[in-house]
């Protein structure tokens, strides 16, 4: 259409077109800032209300400032054991899932074998299944096989839905991996195991760390699947769910923000570590 | 490399075995049990027995048509809004982010680090009847005075959009980030306007991200019941609410299993149709 118009604009960059370009450039920036404000708004609300001293049982209206919720974070019966259970499950599940996922990622990236497509699909499928179906189907398995619900069923479920995330994370790193580095190590006389330990593992370590963090975060946060298979065990999200019906103590916000700060710090650390590595390389 | 070459035949299977066994036993087999459960009849007092009770499926579809429809309408709306809202921002990060890219990306996923239920409760506070948002909207006459947002479909869609937004933004960013900026420059050198270059070069190249993002947002959104519970009312309940209450409160396992299976089946069909429309290479890409 406007090859002429474009020509004119190019040959005569007048003040108007420059102003238009300026506006256009900054519209996107301004929009992005608004977008980030929108993303952060609920987090800010959670943080602010963690310092609230609510009148009734619900923490929805600002009353007055207090630090008490932070110093007495475990003053609500059951909250401390719920947090402990969530952390325990998340720790074991993220280690197990990342272990299983790393092995699978190695197989999927390094080898051409019969059934590779099916395997890729099976790994992808849990990510494309609504959580409620994951929870419901696991519950029917446990019910029909008379497996008692509790700690172990929660752990089984968490490893199950974390594995796919672990595979995807580690695979992404392995694909962009320069195999010449391994070949060089072998040429210099290192055996396979030494090569794996001294070259492969350090190179995929950031991905393994990222997978651990991701699985931990997903596990700590999970409510739907956990709710189906938890029996009478109470993880932190289940505690919040139970509380939300009758009362919302500000201690819930305290734990939520504490988790958030720790997770963001860990992610920032990983980002800083990786960019320092990139600079060194 | 020799380590990976010597036992070429068996090694990949050995590496895969533990993870695949886990997924097989605790993901694939349970789907079979879900179907098995959905064809049972009986009640909690006398136990459930397998009787090929296909009627469970008909009564689920007949009795909860509204909930099924709402699930897919809300999920569809939230997916489209999430796409439109997050595309410009991921574009901005990918092409203008410079050395701040990773940090900005961290901001995008930040909501994931606040427990899902807690951030939804925060929206309850934000959208509350006498809160700032509602008062502003009433002042602007966008909401009639005395009107509310909480307990409406709008609140549920808003909650779903917010909660699943990172699922949309991350794949979008990944596909935009991979685009070689020289391709866009080339289009502009060939006298395409900026907008035309975007439509003809940038957007088509970002399609894999659009497809992945839409699926990763739509699928969990269709099965969600948290937002409908905390931000909605019984008239905005989705099929997830029904499945949850039948499984966990009413102990009507066969009906709940049938509904879960129908939900899954509808999603699979929609994904296949979608894959057909956009080309399957975009799906696994």
Per-residue pLDDT reduced to its tens digit, B91-100: 999 988 888 8
Banded model confidence at residue B8, pLDDT cuts 50, 70, 90 = low
Residue B101 CB burial class (10 angstroms; 0-12, 13-18, ≥19): middle
Number of other CB atoms surrounding residue A128 within 10 Å: 18
| Helix, strand, coil percent content, chain A, rounded in steps of 5 | 75, 0, 20
Mean pLDDT of the B163-173 span: 93
pLDDT value at position B28? 95
The residues, any chain, with a CB within 8 Å of residue B120's CB and separated by 6 or more, are B159, B163, B226, B227, B230, B231
Residue B52 is assigned to a structural domain of this protein: no
pLDDT value at position B2? 46
Whether the CA torsion B51, B54, B60, B63 is positive or negative: it is: negative
- Is the CB of residue B113 less than 8 Å from the CB of residue A264? yes
Round to whole Å and give the CA distance between A239 and A224.
13
The residues, any chain, with a CB within 8 Å of residue A117's CB and separated by 6 or more, are none
Residue with tokens 């506006």: A23
Three-class SS state of B49: strand
For residues B54 and B146, the model is more confident at: B54
For residues A23 and B226, the model is more confident at: B226
Question: Is residue A200 scored above 70 in pLDDT?
Answer: yes
pLDDT value at position B106? 87
Residue B40 is assigned to a structural domain of this protein: no
Mean pLDDT of chain A: 87
Mind telling me how many Å the CA of A69 is from chain B's nearest CA?
16
pLDDT value at position B278? 79
Residues B204-253 have pLDDT tens digits of 999 989 998 999 999 999 999 999 999 999 899 999 999 999 988 888 89
Closest listed residue to residue B231, CA positions, set B135, B180, B146, B157: B157
Question: Is residue B5 scored above 70 in pLDDT?
Answer: no
Question: Is residue B65 scored above 70 in pLDDT?
Answer: yes
Round to whole Å and give the CA distance between B208 and B212.
6
Range of the domain at B245: 64-284
Three-class SS state of A65: strand
Segment holding B40, helix H or strand E: strand B40-43
Structure tokens at A215: 């699985």
- Is the CB of residue B89 less than 8 Å from the CB of residue A31? yes
**To the nearest 10°, the Cα dihedral for B223, B216, B284, A205?**
-120
Mean pLDDT of chain B: 88
Residue B23 is assigned to a structural domain of this protein: no
State the DSSP string of A77-115.
Answer: TTHHHHHHHHHHHHHHHHHHHHHHHHHHHHHHHH---TT
pLDDT value at position B213? 92
pLDDT value at position A79? 92
- Is the CB of residue B120 less than 8 Å from the CB of residue A244? no
Highest averaged pLDDT of the listed ranges A88-97, B43-52, B129-138: A88-97
Round to whole Å and give the CA distance between B119 and B126.
10
> A163: which DSSP letter?
H
Residues from chain A that touch B1, judged by Cβ atoms under 8 A, are: 179, 182-183, 186, 192, 195
| Helices and strands per DSSP (H, E), number in chain A | 13, 0
Mean pLDDT of the B114-136 span: 88
Residue B243 is assigned to a structural domain of this protein: yes
- Cα-based distances in Å from B209 to A144, B98, B213: 40, 20, 6
Percent of chain A with pLDDT strictly greater than 90: 50
**Partner A contacted by B29 (CB < 8 A):** yes
**Partner A contacted by B278 (CB < 8 A):** no
> Is B27's CB within 8 Å of A134's CB?
yes
**Count of CB pairs separated by less than 8 Å, A with B:** 253
Structure tokens at A42: 């609920």
Structure tokens at A135: 């929870």
Question: Is residue B1 scored above 70 in pLDDT?
Answer: no
Q: How many domains is chain B partitioned into structurally? A: 1
Whether the CA torsion B141, A60, B248, A156 is positive or negative: it is: positive
Q: Which of residues 119-158 of B touch A (CB under 8 A)?
A: 119, 121-126, 128
Mean pLDDT of the A144-154 span: 94
Mean pLDDT of the B46-74 span: 90
> Is A35's CB within 8 Å of B89's CB?
yes
Question: Least CB-CB distance to A133: which of B110, B118, B264?
Answer: B264
Mind telling me how many Å the CA of A89 is from chain B's nearest CA?
15
Name the residue ranges covered by the structural domains of chain A.
Answer: 1-39, 75-280
pLDDT value at position A280? 59
Show the beta-strand stretches assigned E in chain A.
Answer: none
| β-strand partners of B40 | B50
**Partner A contacted by B216 (CB < 8 A):** yes
pLDDT value at position A87? 96
> Is A32's CB within 8 Å of B216's CB?
no
State the DSSP string of A230-270.
Answer: -TT---HHHHHHHHHHH---THHHHHHHHHHHHHHHHHHHH
Round to whole Å and give the CA distance between B60 and B57.
5
Residues A121-144 have pLDDT tens digits of 899 889 889 999 999 999 999 999
Three-class SS state of B42: strand
Burial B118-131 (b: 16+ CB within 10 A, else e): bbbbbbbbbbbeeb
Residue B101 is assigned to a structural domain of this protein: yes
* N-terminal to C-terminal alpha carbon distance within chain B: 27
Residue with tokens 């006389």: A189
Round to whole Å and give the CA distance between B124 and B161.
14
What's chain A's length in residues? 281
Mean pLDDT of the A264-280 span: 78
- Is the CB of residue B239 less than 8 Å from the CB of residue B68? yes
Round to whole Å and give the CA distance between A148 and A239.
20
Residue B39 is assigned to a structural domain of this protein: no
Banded model confidence at residue B140, pLDDT cuts 50, 70, 90 = confident
> Is B110's CB within 8 Å of A43's CB?
yes
Question: How would CATH label the architecture of A75-280?
Answer: Orthogonal Bundle (1.10)
Residues A202-242 have pLDDT tens digits of 888 888 998 999 899 999 999 999 999 999 999 999 999 99
Question: Least CB-CB distance to A100: which of B22, B85, B165?
Answer: B22
Mutual angle of helices B29-38 and B253-278, in 10-degree steps: 120
Question: Least CB-CB distance to A130: which of B115, B220, B253?
Answer: B220
Report the CATH number at residue B215. Answer: 1.10.3720.10
Question: Least CB-CB distance to A46: which of B13, B119, B226?
Answer: B119
Round to whole Å and give the CA distance between B158 and B169.
16
Residues from chain A that touch B104, judged by Cβ atoms under 8 A, are: 36
């Amino acid at each position: 259409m406007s090859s002429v118009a474009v020509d004119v604009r190019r040959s005569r960059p007048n003040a108007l077109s420059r102003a238009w370009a300026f506006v256009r450039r900054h519209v996107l920036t301004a929009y992005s800032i608004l977008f980030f404000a929108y993303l952060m708004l609920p987090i800010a609300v959670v943080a602010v209300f963690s310092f609230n001293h609510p009148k009734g049982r619900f923490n929805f209206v600002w009353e007055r400032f207090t630090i008490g919720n932070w110093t007495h974070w475990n003053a609500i019966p059951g909250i401390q054991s719920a947090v402990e259970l969530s952390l325990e499950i998340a720790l074991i599940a993220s280690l197990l899932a990342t272990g299983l996922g790393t092995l699978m990622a190695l197989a999927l990236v390094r080898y051409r074998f019969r059934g590779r497509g099916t395997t890729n699909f099976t790994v992808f499928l849990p990510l494309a299944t609504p959580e409620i179906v994951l929870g419901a189907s696991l519950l029917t398995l446990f019910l029909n096989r008379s497996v008692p619900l509790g700690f172990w069923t929660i752990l089984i479920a968490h490893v199950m839905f974390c594995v796919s995330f672990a595979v995807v994370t580690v695979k992404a790193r392995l694909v962009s991996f320069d195999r010449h580095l391994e070949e060089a190590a072998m040429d210099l006389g290192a055996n396979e195991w030494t090569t794996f330990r001294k070259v492969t593992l350090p190179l995929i370590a950031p991905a393994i760390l990222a997978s651990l963090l991701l699985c931990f975060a997903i596990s700590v946060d999970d409510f739907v699947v956990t709710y189906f298979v938890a029996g009478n065990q109470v993880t932190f999200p289940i505690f919040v769910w139970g509380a939300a019906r009758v009362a919302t103590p500000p201690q819930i916000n305290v734990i939520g923000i504490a988790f958030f700060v720790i997770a963001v710090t860990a992610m920032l650390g990983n980002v800083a570590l990786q960019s320092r590595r990139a600079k060194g390389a | 490399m020799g380590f990976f070459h010597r036992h070429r035949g068996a090694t990949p299977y050995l590496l895969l075995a533990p993870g695949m066994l886990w997924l097989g036993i605790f993901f694939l087999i349970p789907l079979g049990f879900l179907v098995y459960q959905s064809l049972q009849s009986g009640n909690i007092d006398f136990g459930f027995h397998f009787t090929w009770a296909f009627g469970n499926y008909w009564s689920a579809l007949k009795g909860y048509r509204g909930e099924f429809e709402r699930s897919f309408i809300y999920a569809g709306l939230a997916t489209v809004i999430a796409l439109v809202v997050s595309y410009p921002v991921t574009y901005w990060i990918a092409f203008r982010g410079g050395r701040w890219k990773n940090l900005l990306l961290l901001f995008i996923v930040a909501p994931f680090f606040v427990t899902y239920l807690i951030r939804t409760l925060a929206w309850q506070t934000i959208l509350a009847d006498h809160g700032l948002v509602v008062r502003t909207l009433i002042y602007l006459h966008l909401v009639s005075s005395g009107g509310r947002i909480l307990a409406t479909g709008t609140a549920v869609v808003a909650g779903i959009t917010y909660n699943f937004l990172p699922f949309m933004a991350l794949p979008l960013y990944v596909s935009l980030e991979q685009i070689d900026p020289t391709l866009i420059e080339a289009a502009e050198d060939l006298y395409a306007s900026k907008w035309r270059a975007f439509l003809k070069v940038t957007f088509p190249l970002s399609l894999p991200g659009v497809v992945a993002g839409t699926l990763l947002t739509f699928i969990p959104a269709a099965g969600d019941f948290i937002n409908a519970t905390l931000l909605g009312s019984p008239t905005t309940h989705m099929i997830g609410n029904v499945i949850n209450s039948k499984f966990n409160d009413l102990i009507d396992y066969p009906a709940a299993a049938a509904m879960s299976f129908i939900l899954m089946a509808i999603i699979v069909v929609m994904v296949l149709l979608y894959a057909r429309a956009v080309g399957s290479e975009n799906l696994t890409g």
